[in-house]
């Protein structure tokens, strides 16, 4: 019996011993202080803030909750745009008189480097580890200085931004096209309007063209607090005089982008507006922020990156009173670059005013240098309203206007009509198919090649039996040029005209569509005949029409268009060389002079005594088939064949029953009377 008891006791002791050994074996092996700190750094570098928190000492965790710890790291790093974080342990230099380190404390030096929106930040610092008495595990003795050495408990890291001044856009003479100005903002403080509050609101609303409901809605916005200046609308000096001294009314100056030419250059300059969420998502990595203005159209959009400049940024540690403790990184403000164009503001405005609301577009060119003097689209919008505040009423008015003022017409393609006959004449002469002495016998006002054309025919306005090239240009004879093209054949015609820059982008930064001679090649003699006088599928922008006339002035060379003055501009001003021979250019030039000088010529309305005006009219018919009634666009192009300083192209939509191309000639003449003798 006694033996059995001792056996049982022995067995139990053995079982306890085995179990104890197993439990001891299953315990995780305690890491060294060095291993703990290496793990902490690895988690830090990976942004594993919860894992970092688990390695903090109990005292550190008592002072800071997990939620606040994670929030502090993530908000700081997100706010400064942190990337490329790298943490590594470094070695302390050996002390002259080494002292033994306490067994429950350890110190490690580390080097941290990271990139931010203000540039790189680097520092060296020491982290302290302590051994937990209850678990005997090593833990990090955390404090805010581990994030940045200068940080203390209640400090914050903040980003201070200084907005860069946007570059300005000028014309050739330094006159502003898009400049930085200021605006007077009339504002109200709702709680300070006094006993006449209702009367004041009504007066302000009426003066600014608003309803009292709109004003009251602004005053009751959720962000408004007692004493707040609530901006109601922009005003001028008269508005200041009218409301100054009235209770609750005050004024502030606001920096704002302004467009001195307003509608006259709207589609050229474009406008800026605050960046929206979708745009910011695309551009955030390119230095754009939520408070930035973004070019939304025209030159403002085209040169936005260089105009924007670089905002100044400082990343600073501030104490609980808002005082700066230390600047961690900074990037200096760089003002945006100015853009000087070749545009002449006076000419731009003068051309726009001639349209008087008519739909159309124009270009003005210095035909020898290629400098673009004006690009006009009519009607237009006022870009200043996009910046100062565009009402829903005005937006709806623009969108509902049948003349589409928001449409940029000078970048659109149009059928050039008879203004294209000059190209056909030049191609025929250059190919040797035609000559100044060649006379074509044409009977009647209608002509068809043969029975293969069926009911299709070409018409003209003047019934003469015999016509040479000069008369055909002076009197704009469709039949003559249809026969010219057929005599050339489609290949000679197409290849000769193509040299003028068809099918290619215009060599300038502003986006223009490619002009076309035919959508998929010239398929028939009817299409060839129609193309000869600028119908068929021929499509050109007003600027390309102007460029196609420059070989007449430049001994057969097409000039390269130039819109921006820059040291990087190519020295060569030629885009297409030798598209026609110099003698061909001279023949056509003389014919265009005669088109204006001849009292019976279709372009004689442009004649100015004392000037050697050359020009060509054009009417483009917009209809689906012969015989039907359609719209007509009127064209006119002119230059002084002696001065060769200004090449003006104007197009007006829907000129039928308004004088046809003669309606456009009258507008162009007024421009030439003022600017035709100017040297550019």
Which residues 6+ apart lie within 8 Å of 85 measured at CB? 44, 45, 47, 77, 112, 113, 114
In angstroms, what CA-CA distances link 407 with 263, 359, 513?
Answer: 12, 10, 14
Rounded CA-CA distance 133/392 in Å is 71
In terms of phi and psi (left: phi > 0; alpha: psi -120 to 50; beta: otherwise), the region of 264 is alpha
Which residues 6+ apart lie within 8 Å of 285 measured at CB? none
In angstroms, what CA-CA distances link 349 with 177, 512, 541, 618?
Answer: 11, 22, 20, 24
In angstroms, what CA-CA distances link 636 with 64, 368, 509, 600, 602?
Answer: 79, 20, 26, 17, 10
CB atoms within 10 A of CB 522: 22
Rounded CA-CA distance 582/447 in Å is 33
Beta bridge partners of 223: none
Active-site choice (363, 415, 418, 515)? 418
**Under 8 Å between Cβ of 502 and 427:** no
**Any catalytic annotation for residue 418?**
yes
In terms of phi and psi (left: phi > 0; alpha: psi -120 to 50; beta: otherwise), the region of 536 is left
Three-state DSSP class for 362? strand
Alpha-carbon radius of gyration of the chain? 39
Instruction: Tell me the two tokens of residue 23.
Output: 């439990």
Which residues 6+ apart lie within 8 Å of 297 measured at CB? 267, 270, 271, 408
Rounded CA-CA distance 267/383 in Å is 9
In angstroms, what CA-CA distances link 151 with 48, 55, 157, 192?
Answer: 21, 21, 9, 43
Nearest to 298 by CA among 188, 218, 411: 411
CB atoms within 10 A of CB 604: 19
Cα separation of the two ends of the chain: 129
Q: Inter-axis angle of helices 478-488 and 525-532, to 10 degrees?
A: 130
Largest CA distance in the chain: 150
Rounded CA-CA distance 177/366 in Å is 20
Q: Inter-axis angle of helices 421-431 and 478-488, to 10 degrees?
A: 40
Which residues 6+ apart lie within 8 Å of 407 measured at CB? 377
Nearest to 392 by CA among 202, 214, 183: 214
Nearest to 544 by CA among 620, 666, 647: 647
**Under 8 Å between Cβ of 200 and 190:** no
Active-site positions read: 418
């Amino acid at each position: 019996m006694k033996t059995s008891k001792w056996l049982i006791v022995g067995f139990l002791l053995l079982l306890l011993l085995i179990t104890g050994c197993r439990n001891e074996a299953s315990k995780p092996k305690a890491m060294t202080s060095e291993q703990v700190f290496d793990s902490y750094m690895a988690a830090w570098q990976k942004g594993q803030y919860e894992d970092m928190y688990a390695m903090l000492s109990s005292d550190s965790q008592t002072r800071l909750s997990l939620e606040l710890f994670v929030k502090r790291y993530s908000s700081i790093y997100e706010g400064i745009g942190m990337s490329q974080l790298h943490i590594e342990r470094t070695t302390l230099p050996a002390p002259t008189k080494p002292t033994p380190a306490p067994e429950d404390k350890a110190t490690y030096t580390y080097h941290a480097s990271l990139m931010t929106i203000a540039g790189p930040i680097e520092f060296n610092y020491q982290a302290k580890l302590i051994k937990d008495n209850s678990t005997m595990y090593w833990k990090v003795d955390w404090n805010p200085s581990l994030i940045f050495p200068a940080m203390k408990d209640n400090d914050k890291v903040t980003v201070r931004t200084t907005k860069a001044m946007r570059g300005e856009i000028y014309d050739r003479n330094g006159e502003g096209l898009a400049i930085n100005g200021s605006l007077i903002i009339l504002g109200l403080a709702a709680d300070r309007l006094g006993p006449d509050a209702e009367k004041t609101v009504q007066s302000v609303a009426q003066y600014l063209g608003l309803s009292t409901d709109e004003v009251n809605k602004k005053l009751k916005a959720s962000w408004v607090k007692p004493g707040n200046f609530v901006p109601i609308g922009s005003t001028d000096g008269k508005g200041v005089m009218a409301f100054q001294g009235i209770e609750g009314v005050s004024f502030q100056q606001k920096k704002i982008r302004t467009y001195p030419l307003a509608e006259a250059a709207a589609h050229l300059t474009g406008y800026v507006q605050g960046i929206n969420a979708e745009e910011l998502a695309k551009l955030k990595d390119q230095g754009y922020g939520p408070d930035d203005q973004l070019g939304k159209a025209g030159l403002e959009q085209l040169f936005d990156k260089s105009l924007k400049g670089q905002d100044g940024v400082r990343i600073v540690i501030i104490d609980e009173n808002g005082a700066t403790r230390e600047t961690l990184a900074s990037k200096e403000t760089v003002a945006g670059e100015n853009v000087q164009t070749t545009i002449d503001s006076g000419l731009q405005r003068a051309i726009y005013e001639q349209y008087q609301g008519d739909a159309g577009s124009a270009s003005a060119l210095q035909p020898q240098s290629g400098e673009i003097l004006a690009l006009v689209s009519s009607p237009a919008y006022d870009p200043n309203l996009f910046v100062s505040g565009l009402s829903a009423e005005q937006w709806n008015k623009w969108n509902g206007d049948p003349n589409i003022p928001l449409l940029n017409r000078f970048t659109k393609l149009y059928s050039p009509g008879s203004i294209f006959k000059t190209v056909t004449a030049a191609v025929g002469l250059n190919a040797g198919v035609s000559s100044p002495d060649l006379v074509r016998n044409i009977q009647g006002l209608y002509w068809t090649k043969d029975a293969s054309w069926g009911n299709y025919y070409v018409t003209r306005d003047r019934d003469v039996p015999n016509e040479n090239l000069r008369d055909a240009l002076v009197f704009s004879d469709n039949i003559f040029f249809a026969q010219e093209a057929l005599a050339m054949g489609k290949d000679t015609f197409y290849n000769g005209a193509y040299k003028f820059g068809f099918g290619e982008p215009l060599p300038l930064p502003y986006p223009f569509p490619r002009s076309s001679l035919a959508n998929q090649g010239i398929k028939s003699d009817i299409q060839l005949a129609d193309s000869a006088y600028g119908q068929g599928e021929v499509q050109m922008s007003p600027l390309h029409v102007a460029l196609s006339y420059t070989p007449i002035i430049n001994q057969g060379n097409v000039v390269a268009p130039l819109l921006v003055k820059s040291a990087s501009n190519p020295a060569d001003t030629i885009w297409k060389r030798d598209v026609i021979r110099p003698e061909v250019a001279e023949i056509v030039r003389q014919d265009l002079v005669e088109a204006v000088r001849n009292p019976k010529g279709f372009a004689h309305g442009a004649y100015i005594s004392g000037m050697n005006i050359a020009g060509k009219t054009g009417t483009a018919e917009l209809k689906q088939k012969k015989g039907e009634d359609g719209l007509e666009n009127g064209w006119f192009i002119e230059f002084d064949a002696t001065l060769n300083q200004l090449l003006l192209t104007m197009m007006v939509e829907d000129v039928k029953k308004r004088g046809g191309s003669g309606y456009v000639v009258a507008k162009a003449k007024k421009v030439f009377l003022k600017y035709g003798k100017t040297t550019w």
